[in-house]
Chains A and B, each alone.
Chain A
């Protein structure tokens, strides 16, 4: 995957998704955390190489944005691959802490305390 001209590097990621440029579901934000299911479910199909790379990276919890950066793939491509892994039962998905609705004073204070320790 390394090297190659810029255009080739852009085209290639979407060959990993079978040409799909849109995810099949909307579970994934940049800070959605994914964790590989360990052990993998029985009769799980063998993952494609890129899916296997993702699974290795998310043995410990990792966010979608971190995965994309670490794998040097566009977020949109990683999300499509994650959709497949989720549907195959290979990953846990944890959505971000919701911040819509009334402000969560306890959460804000916790963030402030944490930043104060920097």
Chain B
């Protein structure tokens, strides 16, 4: 591309590429992570698949996973252009707890995380909450209300998950762009409040 600019020699340290940052979207298997990513992403969520052998996993603990998934772990992600020089990526963490080893790599350099929970199966997101608490990664909890309603108020969810007061708990609809945007804004508000208190 840009062949007409060929007279300008490339300078290795100066690239026109924008800055990149990322936020993780975690939660139990099938809770709606990819749906949330897709609702706010400017691209259709992209998927990478990693062979488990490359990640160094013992392959003897794959009972119960359908065969197609037994040899790869998939990860979906989306993109939001924040400004000309700044792009935010949203990564859905692999849902099953057995893929925790990938979360370590994913968590490095993340601004923070959204933990999606299904109020009918809150336990499926305990591992994600535990993971971010242990590593001191700021997160918000969003209860994905399937079928447009959610029977539990946020304070009940906070109590059930024994979350500290400073961790925001929201209801959301992962299919709705404005709702997912508000979840991300709640995370940024938390991050900004923490930075100011710093």
Q: Which residues of A contact B (CB under 8 A)?
A: 6-7, 10, 13-14, 21, 29-35, 37-39, 59-61, 63, 65-66, 68-70, 74-77, 89, 92-94, 96-100, 102-105, 107-116, 118
Q: Which residues of A contact B67 (CB under 8 A)?
A: 6
The one of B1, B177, B192, B194 in contact with A112, judged by C-beta atoms closer than 8 angstroms, is: B192
Q: How far is the CA of A82 from the CA of B80 in the complex (A)?
A: 24
B192, A109: Cβ atoms closer than 8 Å: yes
B65 interface residue (CB < 8 Å to A): no
Which of A7, A13, A38 neighbours the largest number of chain B CB atoms within 10 Å of its CB?
A38
The one of B49, B54, B83, B110 in contact with A99, judged by C-beta atoms closer than 8 angstroms, is: B110
Q: Which residues of B contact A (CB under 8 A)?
A: 1-3, 6, 10, 12, 15-22, 40, 46-51, 53-55, 67-68, 71-72, 77, 79-83, 86, 88-89, 91, 105-106, 108-111, 177-178, 181, 184-185, 188-189, 191-192, 194-196, 198
B71, A96: Cβ atoms closer than 8 Å: no
A69, B54: Cβ atoms closer than 8 Å: no
Q: Which residues of A contact B48 (CB under 8 A)?
A: 65, 68-69, 74-75
- B86 CB to closest chain A CB (Å) equals 6
- A78 CB to closest chain B CB (Å) equals 9
B89, A30: Cβ atoms closer than 8 Å: yes
A111, B15: Cβ atoms closer than 8 Å: no
A33, B109: Cβ atoms closer than 8 Å: no
The one of A7, A35, A65 in contact with B89, judged by C-beta atoms closer than 8 angstroms, is: A65
